[in-house]
Amino acid sequence: MDFLNAHLLTLILFAPTAVALLVLLLPARQVGVIRWVAFIGSLAPLGLSVFLWFGYRPAEPGFQFQEFVPWYQAIGANYHLGVDGISVPMVLLTTLLTSLAILISFSIRERVRAYMVLFLLLETGLLGVFLSLDLLLFFVFWEAGLVPMYFLINQWGSENRNYASLKFLIYTMGGSLGLLLAIQMIRLVVGSFDLPVLYSQWNLLKGTLFGVPVGTVKILAFWAFVIAFAIKVPIWPFHTWLPDAHAEAPTGGSIILAGVMLKLGAYGFLRLLLPLYPAEAHDFAGVLGGLAVAGIVLGAFASWGQKDFKRLVAYSSVNHMGFVVLGIAAAAWARGSASSGDAVLALNGAVLQMFNHGLSAAGMFLLVGVLYERTHTRQLDDYGGLFALAPLYGGILIFTSMGSLGLPGLGGFISEFLVVRGSWPIFTLYTAIAMVGLLITGAYILKAVQKVLHGPVNPQWQGHSLEIGVREALAISPLMILMLAIGVWPAWILNMINAAVMHLFG
């Protein structure tokens, strides 16, 4: 037990890689064995994440379960892991969605071994971002997740996969160049990549750096961080890679892309931007909030205008993640002011929205994939009246859609309400405009449900088996349970998040 507690984060981080190596040793022709080994192996980091959840103590400030080993001493980089109440929910979300995505990917028929290996390596890359407390280690894992996702889209995607995968890679790597330069500059100035050290020393710098006033250098570094994170969220107008990547990715890839990968950018804002650049974040919070509101409104209208079911869900991520960024911007503006209580509410809502969107978006992409496998079309006009042919699927789609919509009683309502309630006294005009996007969110969700499930039955599907299968229903069940659990009793997750947010605000 002592070994488990001392090395829990390392076990969570590299368990998927160990399973990937095991899968790689299996004969390629043993497709069934490969699938089950990958799925059962993916339950190991999930089980360890649940153990982490119950072992974490929200009342204790600072990072817990820390592991520190000198790594690359010549440049001052260390293998430093740790978690707080913001990262623990993201670790649980990542391990849960990976297991469910692998289960739903049993329908993959070609190069199954390579697919599963890439998926498990992708999980390690994503987990590394949430667990790292060393800035260089953070960047290594930040980039490590790009390669498996690129190949998942490029090799198992739809017709336009080459364009979508290349656009995804160029956008995200392009944004990372400035991030890497800023990280190197911070190391030269402070002498460390270690985040706890940077939190205490970076903001104390005065005078000039490299012959330039410290304020100017910090502003340049701040925007390098912002652009990298904005592309990953994505914030409008850096979002254009997202619909193409989602539309062309296999169903499992879309689940992880929307459920976890988009959260990396928001997590970067929380873990790095607000602690390292509080003054700059305050000064430019209005710009960040404006871009967030633009994403909320324009993302909603873009979703409303789609005829492709998967692209509709893809644009909805721009809309929903806009609320995350709005909450972060409000917190940046009000930190240390008389409105800091409202800022805490907004930031609590932003972190919870990251988790809730991971559940609802993953569920929606799963359901789109189920329908596409049976009909081989994603055009909303090709559906119609499917409730009569697939009542269980229809009920699950309505439930998940309402979770995405933010229906009271489900998780999405709690997080969006907290963001709106916290942001209203700080960014009143922005929040009021965001309500337009919330209205259109209801419109595009109801449009999708109506087009797919209601109206006359399309004669094309008469006699077809469109009902959701047992494996697919099992995959989406945990997401539905969590959406309901958060909507009815949010304290079980908010208590953990709030303690970390209060610590972030000093």
Which stretches within 305-339 are classed as H helix?
A: 309-334
> Which helix or strand (DSSP H or E) is residue 21 part of?
helix 8-25
**What is the number of residues in the chain?**
506
Q: What is the pLDDT of residue 76?
A: 78
Kindly report the three-state secondary structure assignment for every residue of 332-388.
HHHCCCCCHHHHHHHHHHHHHHHHHHHHHHHHHHHHHHHHHHHHCCCEHHHCCCHHH
**What are 259's two structure tokens?**
């459920």
Q: Is 255 helix (H, G, I), strand (E, B) or coil?
A: helix
Q: What is the pLDDT of residue 506?
A: 58
Q: What is the pLDDT of residue 458?
A: 81
CA 321/CA 294 separation, integer angstroms: 11
Q: What is the pLDDT of residue 334?
A: 79
Kindly report the three-state secondary structure assignment for every residue of 78-125.
EEEEEECCCHHHHHHHHHHHHHHHHHHHHHCCCCHHHHHHHHHHHHHH
**What are 311's two structure tokens?**
């692209």
CB 177: neighbour CB atoms within 10 A? 12
Instruction: From 61, 70, 63, select the one nearest 91 (Cα to Cα).
Output: 63
CA 146/CA 299 separation, integer angstroms: 24
Q: What is the pLDDT of residue 51?
A: 94
Cα dist from 97 to 352, 425, 459, 492, whole Å: 16, 35, 35, 20
Print pLDDT tens along the chain (506 aa).
677 777 899 999 999 999 999 999 998 888 889 999 999 999 999 999 999 999 999 888 888 899 988 888 777 788 999 999 999 999 999 999 999 999 998 888 888 899 999 999 999 999 999 999 999 999 999 988 888 998 999 888 878 888 888 888 888 888 888 888 888 888 877 778 888 888 887 766 666 666 667 677 778 888 888 898 998 888 888 888 888 888 888 888 889 988 898 899 999 999 988 888 888 888 888 899 999 999 999 999 998 988 888 889 988 888 889 999 999 999 888 765 646 778 888 999 999 999 999 999 999 999 998 988 888 888 888 888 888 888 999 999 999 999 988 889 998 899 999 999 999 988 889 999 999 888 899 889 999 999 988 888 888 877 778 888 899 999 999 999 999 999 999 999 999 999 888 887 65
Q: What is the pLDDT of residue 338?
A: 47
CB 21: neighbour CB atoms within 10 A? 12
Q: Is 210 helix (H, G, I), strand (E, B) or coil?
A: coil
Backbone angles phi, psi at 489, to 5 degrees: -140, 80
